[in-house]
Structure 1
Amino acid sequence: MTPVRVGVFGLLGSGNVGNDGSLEAILGYLRAEHPEAVVDALCGGPESVTARFGIPATRLHWYRGEYRTASRAGAVVGKGVGKLVDAYRTAAWVRRHDVVIVPGMGVLEATLPLRPWGFPYALFLLCASGRLLGTPVALVSVGAAPIRERATRTLVRWSARLAAYRSYRDSQSREALRSMGVDTVRDEVYPDLAFALPTPPRSEPSGTPGTVCVGVMAFHGGNDDRARAEEIHRRYLDGTIRFVRALVEEGRPVRLLTGDAADLVVVDAILEAVDSPLVTAAATSSLADLMKEMAAADSAVAVRYHNLICALRSGTPVVALSYAAKSDALMEAMGLGAFRHPARAVDPDRLLQQFRALERQAAELRRTLAERDAAAVRRLRRQFADLTTAVFPRTGRSPIRQEV
């Protein structure tokens, strides 16, 4: 049997644990259902991906300063030349594969600051190369959101149109693509790929108030908030500091969690401002690490999307500091829609009230989370079965068994 050559693509290995968790989930699926597959990656941090996951990896961009501001003539020329070189490099990489998978991530959204000629252009090159060379590109459980900026919207729309397979992690994502002119009639909605990862055992509540996990983020608003990014960040940070200080005054231990290397500056700011031995920071490098921290806590407050998923999957009631529709959709789907708070306007007094209401209902919410999590896991298995049928070459293997 000729091995199936599978490529995975995205901002993987770049310090975002949510993105790497999506890769981990896809690799688990491939190893279980396509063990003959030969897998490699085109990604943001190839050294990190190879070291952690044991697969060969190639750098996504030829120009290493792609995501730094080009303030000098040499940098501007380097970026321009890099766009041309990347077109060739991407096509050559795609040509070597039978299937290319983009595992989860918000690849069709701009809910955080994003330049069109960065990742959106790279994704367009991938999908266009796949269509031209006959290699199916699968966008699997991806996130999408309406995009106002014309160039980014155009690149995202054409990337989606050129992909051979699309599925979304929530209905809002599918609707966003439809509103941008993509035919989504045959596209399905499945849970985020993180629901395919194993969960740790949960610590039993002690009966006395315990640790609160607070997931933080270097949050400056979205793509449309650049003019007031610092104002948004200051309001988010001040509100979070005041909330953490209120918990400490009640004697509650607080565990600070991150989801990206960029978040460490926020951790440092909170530790300096509150200055209490009750506030500690966890060293986490994977979704498994985050889930262990969440499982050991009584409750949580979090802003990053995959911090929320880790709390929900661990059975830990959580208040979402929501900055995008994806967080709202996730909380509604898991039965915690009442426990959302705007990340752009953190009101520590109101947040504390929501947090106390969350803890009063904790026992009931844990039961709800267990039921919703089991249903999401079953749906994700159906997603993998559909993916095998849709884009993998016929190998004589039986389809994945679906649970009822």
Structure 2
Amino acid sequence: MGTAVQEGQNQFQIRRVVLSGYYGFRNSGDEAVLKSILFALAEEGKRQGVTIVPVVLSGDPSWTTEMYGVEAVHRMKLGEVVRALRGSHGLISGGGSLLQDATGAATIPYYTGVIKLAQLLRKPTFIYAQGIGPVNRRWMDPLIRGVMRRSAYLSVRDAESAELLGRMGVPRDRIEVVPDPVMALPLPAAQPLAGGAAAPAAAGGAVPPLPPVVGVSLRHWRKDGADLARAAAALGALARSRAVRLRFLPFHTPSDAEASRRVMEQLGDLGESTAEIASPGDDPQAMLLEVSRCDALFGMRLHALIYAANLSVPLVGLSYDPKIDQFLNRLGLKPVGTTETLDPSSFTAAMGRLLDDPAGWRAEHGAAIERLKREARNPAKQIVAKLR
């Protein structure tokens, strides 16, 4: 039944749990997923009298240990993975878009292989808020179906993922649809006010109003760069329509920083507006802090949109993948454009509404946001209960 330790008057059980995902690659979104899961497991463990000891499968174990203070082993070294699983009480796979073949044919066999290995070692497996698909190679369906049906707990981050698993033959009543875990990630201890740093005092002690901060999260997608050119045209139109401070937020370095610089070079005359790139470092909560300082956000990266929703920062999304549309739909929103079409006038009008009436946006979407934040805690609650 595992080990127990005495803490004060309460006896805590210790459970070692291996975490599998796209961790250790300094992708802010995936690192935020990991940090959110670690935070949720620790908090839920305290509530249920269980001390969760995580062991992360990482592309850079020493960096992961330094960043999060947890044990980590190399995700591609089979001996290390087997030893970690043998010494564990179970495996958590997720979150993020792990089971998809858009990034190549090796992704699904790797992640299902780790799950299958844990199951062969008779360890319970838990699927934590995964996004499933796209899966274009039908021979991969049995790989996914087999490990999902043998998992002790199964949750996905949207209804479309649940429907895809159902078509593969996974019983629908075993699948819980929950939000992305990052919806429950808290800010670091010191929370700033929205809108950036305080303005310097002008002559006579008056404080001039600062232009609103518009967070911008873009990524490379189209090989010809036409999508970034359209984003530059839209952002340039916004900047010339009113004074704003465009603050580019690179979620995956260095590629997002390169995409941001490319867009900045195409903005043209900004009038009274400015543009800059943030450098928050690798800690997901540092990027969360950056987003909290924005008055509105224009996001292409899924986790940029999730960060903004988490913090009730008004947002508009640019769709490049169905997961963007699916998340926006849960908030009652539609994308402002896609990588194929983005109208500068419509974009400027949409951003203007957010900047002119943020309270109205929060009133309209606040209930949906709070529901997602509550539901994002469900996987940790279920998993810890099953590990007791």
Secondary structure of the corresponding residue to residue 316 of structure 2:
strand
Paired amino acid for 2:294:
A
| CA distance 1:210–1:6, change in 2 (3 Å) | same
Deviates more, 1:275-284 or 1:297-306: 275-284
- In proportion to residue count, which structure has more helix? 1
Render the CA deviation track for 1:123-180: whole Å, top value 9, x for unaligned. Answer: 1211111221110111111111341123554544444334332101111111121123
Question: What is the aligned-residue identity percentage?
Answer: 24
Residue 6 of structure 1 aligns to a residue in which SS? strand
Greater shift, 245-254 or 3-12, is seen at 245-254
Match of 1:274 among 267, 276, 285: 267
Can you give the 5+ residue segments of structure 2 that lack an aligned partner in the other structure? 5-13, 197-207
The separation in 1 between residues aligned to 2:82 and 2:151, in whole angstroms, is 14
Aligned-pair distance for 1:264?
1.8
Tell me, yes or no, if the aligned pair for 2:91 and 2:115 is still in contact at 8 Å: no
Aligned partners of 1:292, 1:53: CA distance in 2, in Å? 17
**1:318/1:339 contact within 8 Å kept:** no
Map of 1:171 onto structure 2: 159
The aligned counterpart of 1:333 is: 330
Q: How many residues align?
A: 353
Q: 2:105 aligns with which of 93, 104, 116?
A: 116
Is 1:12–1:23's contact at 8 Å kept on the other side of the alignment?
yes
Within the alignment, does 1:55 sit opposite 2:73 as a pair? no
Structure-2-length-normalised TM-score: 0.82
- Deviation of 1:26 (Å): 1.8
Matched, 1:314 2:305: no
Shift of 1:54: 1.1
Q: Return the alpha-carbon distance in structure 2 between the equivalents of residues 99 and 350 of structure 1.
A: 49
Q: Match for 1:179: what amino acid?
A: R
Q: Does 1:37 align with 2:52?
A: yes
In 1, Cα distance between equivalents of 2:362 and 2:44 = 32
Quickly say closer, same or farther: Cα 1:128–1:280, change in 2 above 3 A: same
Q: Which residue, out of 34, 43, 52, partners 1:23?
A: 34
- The code of the aligned residue for 2:23 comes to L
Q: TM-score, normalised by structure 1?
A: 0.79
Q: Which amino acid aligns with 2:259?
A: V
The SS at the match of 1:266 is: helix
Name the counterpart of 1:304.
301
Alpha-carbon contact 2:41-2:380 (below 8 Å) kept: no
Task: State the 1:209 CA deviation.
Answer: 5.0
**Paired residue secondary structure (2:376):** helix
Number of the residue aligned with 2:85: 94
Pick from 218, 221, 242: which aligns with 2:220?
218
Residue 184 of structure 2, aligned match among 196, 207, 212: 196
Distance 1:294 1:37, change over 3 A: closer
Q: Could you tell me whether the CA contact under 8 Å between 1:328 and 1:340 is conserved in 2? A: no
Q: 1:235 to 1:204 in 2, by over 3 A?
A: closer
* CA RMSD of superposed structures (Å): 2.6
- Give ranges in structure 1 of 5+ residues lacking alignment: 63-85, 221-229, 395-404
> 1-side partners of 2:262 and 2:134: how far apart?
32
Report what 1:383 is aligned to.
Answer: 379
Amino acid at match of 1:370: G
Aligned to 1:70: none
DSSP 3-state at the match of 2:297: strand
State the SS of the aligned residue for 1:7: strand
Q: CA offset at residue 89 of structure 1?
A: 5.2
- Find the aligned partners of 2:76 and 2:229 in 1 and give their Cα distance: 37
Matches of 2:209 and 2:361, distance apart in 1: 16
Contact 2:85/2:118 (8 A) holds in 1: yes
Instruction: Provide the secondary structure at the position in 2 that maps to 1:140.
Output: strand
1:186 aligns with 2:174: yes
Quote the offset at 1:49 in angstroms.
Answer: 0.8
1:9 aligns with 2:20: yes
**1:374 deviation in Å?**
2.4
Give the secondary structure class of the aligned counterpart of 1:212.
Answer: strand
1: CA distance, partners of 2:340 / 2:133: 18
The alignment partner of 1:148 has SS state of: coil
CA distance in structure 2 between the aligned counterparts of 1:193 and 1:209, rounded to whole angstroms: 32
Which of 55, 61, 66 is residue 46 of structure 1 equivalent to?
61
SS at match of 1:241: helix
* Residue 291 of structure 1 pairs with residue 288 of structure 2: yes
Amino acid at match of 1:94: L
Stretch of structure 1 that moved more, 366-375 or 139-148: 366-375
The counterpart of 2:96, out of the listed 105, 125, 144, is 105
- Separation in structure 2 between the aligned mates of residue 382 and residue 120 of structure 1, nearest angstrom: 25
2:120 is aligned to 132
The residue aligned with 1:364 is 360
Structure 2 distance, partners of 1:207, 1:145, is 46
User: Does residue 260 of structure 1 match 2:249?
Assistant: no
Deviation, 1:360, is: 4.6
SS in 1 for 2:325: helix
Residues 98, 132 of structure 2: 8 Å contact kept: yes
